[in-house]
Amino acid sequence: MSDETPAPGDNDIIARLSAFQEQTDTQDEPVAEAVPPTQAPEAAPVEEVEAAAETDEQQPEQPEETDSADNLVDIEFDGKVLKGSPELREAVLRHADYTRKTTELAEHRALFQKEREIADQHAAFNQSIEPESTELAQIDAQLAQFKALPWDEFDMQQSFKAKNAQDLLKERKAEIKQAISAKRDEFTQQVQQSRQELIQTGIKYLNKVIPSWGKDAYELSAKAAKTAGYTEHEVANFVDPRALHLAWKAAQWDKLQAAKPAVQKKVSEVPPVTKPGSQATTESKASSQYKQLRDQLRKTGDPRIAQKLFALGK
């Protein structure tokens, strides 16, 4: 082997080459000649490879920009039309659908809460007057007993005591009725307020699901509800807008069914359309030509026209 010592800066490849040289028992001179060229020739290919790699990395960027520009689609968001990828549009549509369903759920929940509030008010009122109602029933039972007394057999003192006890019961009954009436007035005000809030919430719901909602639409819905069997009082006390929505849909269906005969009549009056080249069109043309030739033959008596007419008759 050569006496030359590798420089401190040589990398691992020289060591691997030296090991390979020892294994193959080759001479020292060729190996020494082969080691130095490994440093100079390697510099150029490395630069070329790096340049090629940079070129390969840069080349795909242009088609990607072109493809992304070609694949842009219109996206409606907040009343504006924007450009974006199809994936982004799908995401926006999913978000819009989720928002719509969440809004509808919130509206239905608000209606349910208002209806539940009115039901709770009814239950609270009945519970609040339960003691008075119980006492009132007891007083009525006692007053019924006083009516059954043999008043004609009582002396003055007995009549006075019985009449006094009876009057006390009547006074107490009047007090209880007055207390119940006061609670009923308070309850009525609460229910009316809750009903007004429910009606306002219902109007917002109906304006959303029925763009043409108004007086005419309400009258049409009320008429359809009465036709379905609802009474005038029930229709006037509709608090759930969904019932009016269903009645409006029923009215639209009845209107469509009523217009069907007129539409069918117009369709039946339209003459049938024949395709060019069809048998009906060919026969119509042949009939028209036969009639024309026959008229010409009657006027002129030309034998050539008669020959054409005979050939057409075949």
The amino acid at residue 250 is: A
Tokens representing residue 194 in the block = 């809750």
How does DSSP assign 16-31, residue by residue?
A: HHHHHHHHHT--HHHH
pLDDT one digit per residue (tens) for the chain, 314 residues: 444 445 454 445 556 545 555 555 444 444 444 444 444 444 445 455 455 555 555 555 554 544 456 678 888 877 788 888 888 888 888 888 887 778 777 777 877 787 788 888 899 999 999 999 999 999 999 999 999 999 888 899 999 999 999 999 999 999 999 999 999 999 999 988 888 888 888 888 888 888 888 889 888 898 888 888 889 888 888 877 888 888 899 888 888 888 777 666 666 666 665 555 555 555 566 677 778 877 887 777 777 777 776 676 65
pLDDT for res 51: 53
What does the alpha-carbon distance between residue 112 and residue 261 come to, in Å, rounded to a whole number? 42
Tokens 């009465």 sit at which residue? 226
What phi-psi label fits residue 78: left (phi over 0), alpha (psi between -120 and 50 degrees) or beta?
left
pLDDT for res 179: 94
Terminal alpha carbon distance of the chain: 116
How does DSSP assign 103-137, residue by residue?
A: HHHHHHHHHHHHHHHHHHHHHHHHHHTHHHHHHHH
Alpha carbon 213 to its chain centroid, in Å, reads: 19
Alpha carbon 158 to its chain centroid, in Å, reads: 79
What phi-psi label fits residue 238: left (phi over 0), alpha (psi between -120 and 50 degrees) or beta?
beta
3-state secondary structure of 94: helix
Give the number of C-alpha atoms closer than 13 A to the C-alpha of residue 241, restricted to the C-beta side: 26
User: 215, exposed or middle or buried, with CB in 10 Å at 0-12, 13-18, 19+?
Assistant: exposed
Alpha carbon 209 to its chain centroid, in Å, reads: 10
Q: Where are the domains of the chain?
A: 12-59, 110-250, 283-313
Tokens 């080759």 sit at which residue? 26
Contact 93, 107 (CB under 8 A): no
Strand 73-77 relative to strand 80-84: parallel, antiparallel, unpaired?
antiparallel
What does the alpha-carbon distance between residue 30 and residue 87 come to, in Å, rounded to a whole number? 63
